[in-house]
Structures are given as C-alpha cells and as structure tokens.
Amino acid sequence: MEKLANFIDGKYVAPIKGQYIDNFEPATGKVYSLIPNSDEEDVQMAVNAAEKAFPIWSKMSTEERSAILVRLSEGIAARMDEFVQAESKDNGKPVSLAAHVDIPRAVSNFHFFATAITHFSSESHYMDGIGVNFTLRKPLGIVGCISPWNLPLYLFSWKIAPALAAGNCVIAKPSEITPYTAYLLGKVAKEAGMPDGVLNILHGLGGSVGDAIVKHPKIKAISFTGGTKTGEYIARTAAPMFKKLSLELGGKNPNIIFADCNFEEMLSTTLRSSFANQGQICLCGSRIFIERPIYEKFKEAFVNKVAATVVSYPSDPQAKLGAVVSEPHMEKILSYIELAKKEGGTILTGGVKEQLEGDYEKGYFLRPTVIEGLAFDCRTNQEEIFGPVVTLTPFDTEEEVLAMANSTQYGLSATIWTENLTRAHRMADEIQAGIVWVNCWLVRDLRTPFGGVKASGVGREGGLEALRFFTEPKNVLIKYY
C-alpha cells in the first residue's frame, strides 16, 4: 500500500512517530493509501525548517519569488492529468470536474498571486506642514494554512499562493480525507526552485497536527477554511495568542428566483449551483426560493432534470455527480433527508443511495435530492448539509424572501435571478452575504474579496485582501517641517 509522506525542508519525510491513517477512495469505499498521522513533533520540525528559510525567502527580490511561483503554476499544468486523476480518485468527484475546475483553478491561483505580488503597493499619506507617512507591508514570518476536502488543491493553493507570494514561509495542512494532490505538490515546488523550508506540507488529523499548527507560538497567522464549529475552536485557541486569523466557514446559501428571470439560463445554472461537486461546494445554493407565479413550472422542469441526472463512478464521462467524500459524510446527508421527512418535507426526487455495480458497489453514491413543503426556519433549512440536497420554497414578496434568505446563522453567498435591474440592486444590497451573484453562479474574478459574514467567517481572501492579510502594515512618519 502506498504511504504518503510529509514534505518538510524540501524533502519527503515519514512522520516522526511512524503512525499512519487510512485514506479511502470514495468511489470504491476501499483504503488505497496511507497518510502520515503527524503531530506536534512534525510541526516543530517544519517550524525549524521554515525559520531557517524565512530570511532567504523574505529577502529574495519580488521578481525572483514571482518567477518561482509562476514555475510552480506551470509545473502543475504540465502534470495536469496526474493531478486530475489523483484529485478525482481521492475525493470521488467526476474526472471531468477535476479537469475543468479544480486543477486549472490551482494553476490559476499560483499564477494569479505570482503576478499580483509584482503589482502590490502600499499607501502614503502626506500631512500638511508636517511631513509624510508611508506604510510598509512586510511578510508576517511563518504562517499556517489549513484547508478542507471539498475542493482539495483548489482551496489549498488559494491560501498558500498569496502567503508565499507575500514572502512568508508556510506550514500547510490539507484535509486528512483528501491529502493526495497536496502530497504531489511538494515535488512540483522543489522542481520550480522553491528554497527548502519555504513550503512545508504536513498530513494528519485536525485535532492533532492541525491543532499543533494553530497552537504553535512561532506561527503568526492562521488561514483556515472548513466547518463553522472548527473555525470557532480555532478562533478560541488562536485569538488569545493574538494571531492574525482568516476564517472561511460554512454556508446555507439562498438561490432566489423571480418570475421575470431568464428561465432557461436560470434552470441550467440552478442545476449546477445545487449539485456541482455532489453539492459539496460552500457556495452551492441549497435553499431555492421561487416566486409563486412560476413555482409549479420551475418545480416540474427542475425535478425532471434532476431525476435524469447521471450519478456514476468518477471516470464515467457521462457522470454529472460522482461519490460524496466519505461514508460518515454520506450517513450525515442521509440523516438530514430523514430529518426533512420528519419535519414534514416531501421528497420530490432522490433521497436514496445510487447503487452501482462491480468495483463501485461499496462507493458513496447518492441521488441528487429535491425536497419541498418545509418551513423556512426548520433545521433542514437552517443547518448546513453540504451534500446533493436542496429545498424548494415559494415566496410572494421581496420582503418575505429577504427575511427567509437572511434567517440563517450563515452569510456566505447568494444568487438572485431577475431581469429587473433596480430589484437586483435592491436585493443585492439587503442580502446578508459576502458574495452575491446576479443571473449567474460561481463566476469568479480572483481580484475580488471572497468570504462570508455572520457564522460564515471572518476576513476576506482574494486579490489585495489576501496579500494584505499575509503582510503586516507598519506606518512610518517622516517629519520634515
């Protein structure tokens, strides 16, 4: 059985205590590799390497750092197929999704921040009759990046690219459920000419190695993407140590459909925004609100399409949905479907496992599920399910749908479908979310701020926001009058 290794100080090394965890392939339900069960000793080893590397990396010219990150981006692109196959096998997502979304986006993340840093500038403030302030923005030192399993390399690179571009050394931990592409990244970084110790990739459980990263006094900032409960715990640990914190957490996003929308475009996008990546994208619109005059028309058209959606093994070119990420996660999603029934919901389609044959008979496949008849404030409509499950709710007025949309503890993203310009602006203004899409979904410009409000997180990633997060501003006033 293949054993993955940590990447520390430019080398692949076994975990110090020699402990490993099983890594499952979601499409077969079988263990296919072992990953290091690292702990605080491995974190200390990585911190030692990063401390040694920091003066070299932070003092290197921006152009040189940028060139190394561009080569890293190109290195992933050159191994596109290897990364695509690995991501799909590790996560259960269709190969086509990894090939069109996950890995190209990881390539773009490195390229974007490699070039963004060469345009990064800081402010100066002239004071009449006194002099001038200027603001230095220096790297923080060693930073920790912790990422989830749903978009493994995509989100891993979204954090470490700006951290590295800004001149920090990084200790990064991918999810223990999907470690493989992060494991492959070490050798690409090495080939790109990244100095040893600049990027260290540790594997293992959140409660051990993740916690040790958060608690280490020499790690100055934590950029975390994952569940709201984990974010809460990390905030409790890191805040008293005065670490910088960026927390990208859960969501329960509304998809609001007005009767005047472009119906066909809305319908095909809503299929994606509901079920892409088996519904395991923090930005998926899991609560669909439909203006009453088109409720029945939408319901019929949508349910027909969902019922015809092919759920299959990841390498099947017909597969629109693959496997969900793990057995416990599948059980959690099924338990929410049971809860929805108890809360009075009607399952319009799905609600059950998809049983595949042969090698895939033990895989974690679920039918995409549409539920109606639930109150907007029941648990099914308030708690994050993070799977291929959506609810349909009719509405009559803007005020009513806004109140329902804003009723959850979350506030990550929202989608609004209308051809009415003033209404689109009004709704976008009132909705409690960090990201609003009007007449589209998941269209991303990497320069824009990305993140959520309320229990969906603290801080923003993306563009200058990320570069500012990973640097410390220092203001200098020169008095010359």
Residues labelled catalytic: 248, 282
CB of 52 to ligand NAD, least distance (A): 24
Nearer to ligand NAD, 309 or 456 (CB): 456
State the binding string over 452-471 for ligand NAD (x if CB under 6 A, else -): x---xx--------------
- According to CB under 6 A, which one of 29, 251, 345, 463 is a site residue for ligand NAD? 251
150 lies in the site for ligand NAD, by CB under 6 A: yes
The runs of H, that is alpha helices, within 92-220 are 95-97, 103-116, 152-165, 180-191, 211-215
CB of 424 to ligand NAD, least distance (A): 24
Residue type at position 167:
G
Q: How far apart are CA 151 and CA 228, in angstroms?
A: 17
Nearer to ligand NAD, 151 or 261 (CB): 151
State the binding string over 158-177 for ligand NAD (x if CB under 6 A, else -): ---------------x-xx-
DSSP output for 378-441: SHHHHS---SSEEEEEEESSHHHHHHHHTTSS--SEEEEE-S-HHHHHHHHHHS--SEEEES-S
Q: Which of residues 173-212 bind ligand NAD (CB under 6 A)?
A: 173, 175-176, 206-207, 210-211
Handedness of CA 93, 94, 100, 106 (dihedral sign): positive
Nearest by Cα to 290 from 255, 321, 325, 263:
255
Per rule CB under 6 A, count of chain residues that contact ligand NAD: 31
- According to CB under 6 A, which one of 184, 384, 415, 441 is a site residue for ligand NAD? 384
- According to CB under 6 A, which one of 179, 197, 250, 314 is a site residue for ligand NAD? 250
Strand pairing class (20-25; 30-36): antiparallel
CB of 389 to ligand NAD, least distance (A): 14
Q: Which of residues 270-329 bind ligand NAD (CB under 6 A)?
A: 282
Nearer to ligand NAD, 286 or 349 (CB): 286
- According to CB under 6 A, which one of 23, 230, 253, 408 is a site residue for ligand NAD? 230
Q: How far apart are CA 433 and CA 443, in angstroms?
A: 16
Q: How far apart are CA 365 and CA 277, in angstroms?
A: 12
Nearer to ligand NAD, 35 or 261 (CB): 35
Tokens matching residue 155:
């989100």
State the binding string over 328-367 for ligand NAD (x if CB under 6 A, else -): ----------------------------------------
Q: How far apart are CA 172 and CA 225, in angstroms?
A: 12
Laid out side by side, the sheet with 20-25 consists of 2-3, 30-36, 20-25
Nearer to ligand NAD, 148 or 167 (CB): 148
Would you say 147 and 163 are in contact if contact means Cβ atoms under 8 Å apart?
no
Q: Is residue 244 helix, strand or coil?
A: strand
- According to CB under 6 A, which one of 25, 42, 248, 291 is a site residue for ligand NAD? 248
* Binding region for ligand NAD (CB under 6 A): 146-150, 155, 173, 175-176, 206-207, 210-211, 214, 225-227, 230, 233-234, 248-251, 282, 384, 386, 412, 452, 456-457
